Amino acid sequence: MHIGKTIFAQLMTFMPEYEFQKCVDYYKGDYRVRKLTCREHFLVMSFAQLTGRESLRDIENCLSVFSGKLYHSGISKPVSRSTLADANEKRDWRIYADFAQILIKQARPLYIDDNDFRVDLDNMVYAFDSTTIDLCLSLYPWAKFHHQKGAVKMHTLLDLRGSIPVFIDITEGSVHDVNSLDRLPVEPGSYYILDKGYIDFHRLYTLIHQSRAFFVTRAKDNMQYEVISSTDVDREAGLISDQLVKLTGYKSSKSYPEAFRLVIYEDYATGIVYTFMTNDFDLPALSIAELYRERWKVELFFKWIKQHLHIKAFYGTSQNAVACQIWIAICTYLLIAIAKKQLDLAISLYTFAQTLGLTLFEKTPIKELFNNNNLIKNLSDESQLSLWNS
């Protein structure tokens, strides 16, 4: 029997301690801290994420129940809810945001050769989108949205080859999606897949096109343009037209003065006709449609984050507490993704995360959990057994 580290402690060994401490030192996160250092704060909040704790009291009770196993999990002792609440209010959220960027740099090379990307393309391909996390405006008055509702938005740039977020910006819910393009890191030669909510011709032209990068997005129905030339297309593949066009609207033509490409495609499975606009003139028209189809991976990422990490309810009401919780949730996701690859586990990220959450205080080596017998033993009831087939 393995008598060493718990599953939770084994997972945290994938955490680059030196880099984390550099983030803490940069923001003086442990300056005059007597209880719950930034590292301990991260461990406790990550534990809460993995086990789905609902509140500070819930976290406190759970840690107390397992007090005899905390030392072997890297947590020195149970934490009171007042201490944790104080940490959420005072630990600078930028510590965990910067640490997430370090984990992103570590995770991306591990997924670079994933073969579930359907377009034959060597360039980097990203999808940029946002998800709204609803909040109660009376409890979170700083998180203004609309119609007396509160929310924050998580704007995410996702590397579509490995479903790894490479840029995340958290704003108030009232910030329009298109404004987040101003903070988007643009790499020359890369593709940026956007939905039509991000259409701002001036930003598309100055931020992406003039940076020698490519965009693929859906055109709005009221777009005014003239056709310069047309290319023959394979109608049996669902393509309707492939045209070179130029804007004719007074403002839009000044915002985007050059020609771009318009590809019209019909999805025969649903009968829906899509109009794609792009500044790439070389890719086959069908590849443009396939690139946009890959954008749905960012929707799946948001769905996974909301379902399996705890960001639907928050442990504090201040902007700092909410940001800390979201960034630690993202770091936890990245640590799981890194551990799965480095352990060379041929299972879904969903199954891996769920199993970790159910076995955090077991002292079995992580890899041994994922043979059929041990996994079925750990996931005993019917709902848990169904994870094996997910």
Give the global pTM: 0.80
H helix runs in 32-78, sequence order: 38-51, 56-65, 67-70
Cβ atoms < 10 Å from Cβ of 202: 14
Supply the pLDDT for residue 370.
Answer: 76
Supply the pLDDT for residue 108.
Answer: 87
Considering only residues 328 and 379, tell me which one the structure prediction assigns the higher pLDDT: 328
Question: What mean pLDDT do residues 157-163 have?
Answer: 84
The residues, any chain, with a CB within 8 Å of residue 313's CB and separated by 6 or more, are 54, 55
Residue 135 confidence class, pLDDT cut points 50, 70, 90: confident
Please state which of the ranges 143-152, 247-256, 291-300, 314-323 shows the lowest mean pLDDT.
143-152
Question: What mean pLDDT do residues 131-159 have?
Answer: 78
Supply the pLDDT for residue 313.
Answer: 67
Supply the pLDDT for residue 225.
Answer: 94
Supply the pLDDT for residue 15.
Answer: 94
Considering only residues 74 and 230, tell me which one the structure prediction assigns the higher pLDDT: 230
Measured between alpha carbons, how far is 357 from 313 in angstroms, rounded to an integer?
18
Report whether 6 contacts 363 (CB < 8 A).
yes
Looking at the chain, the whole-number percentage of residues with pLDDT higher than 90 is 41
Question: Which residue has 């590292």 as its token pair?
Answer: 39
Nearest to 335 by CA among 13, 116, 6: 13
> How many CA atoms, within 13 angstroms, populate the side-chain half-sphere of residue 136?
6
Report whether 342 contacts 335 (CB < 8 A).
no
Backbone angles phi, psi at 319, to 5 degrees: -60, -35
Backbone angles phi, psi at 352, to 5 degrees: -60, -50
Question: What mean pLDDT do residues 19-35 have?
Answer: 92
Evaluate if residue 70 carries a pLDDT over 80: no
Evaluate if residue 274 carries a pLDDT over 90: yes
Nearest to 153 by CA among 183, 129, 186: 129
Helices (H), strands (E): how many in the chain? Answer: 16, 9
Instruction: Tell me the pLDDT tens digit for each residue of 343-373.
Output: 988 887 777 887 888 888 888 888 887 765 4
Report whether 349 contacts 40 (CB < 8 A).
no
Residue 132, burial from CB neighbour count under 10 angstroms (0-12, 13-18, 19+): middle
Residue 308 confidence class, pLDDT cut points 50, 70, 90: low
Tell me the CA distances in angstroms from 73 to 10, 33, 111, one per residue in order: 8, 22, 28
Evaluate if residue 339 carries a pLDDT over 80: yes
Strand partners, 151: 134
Supply the pLDDT for residue 380.
Answer: 41
Supply the pLDDT for residue 72.
Answer: 67
Mean pLDDT of the chain: 85
Tokens for 151, please give them. Answer: 């929310």
DSSP state letters, 290-325: HHHHHTHHHHHHHHHHHHHSS-SS-S--SHHHHHHH
Question: What mean pLDDT do residues 70-89 have?
Answer: 83
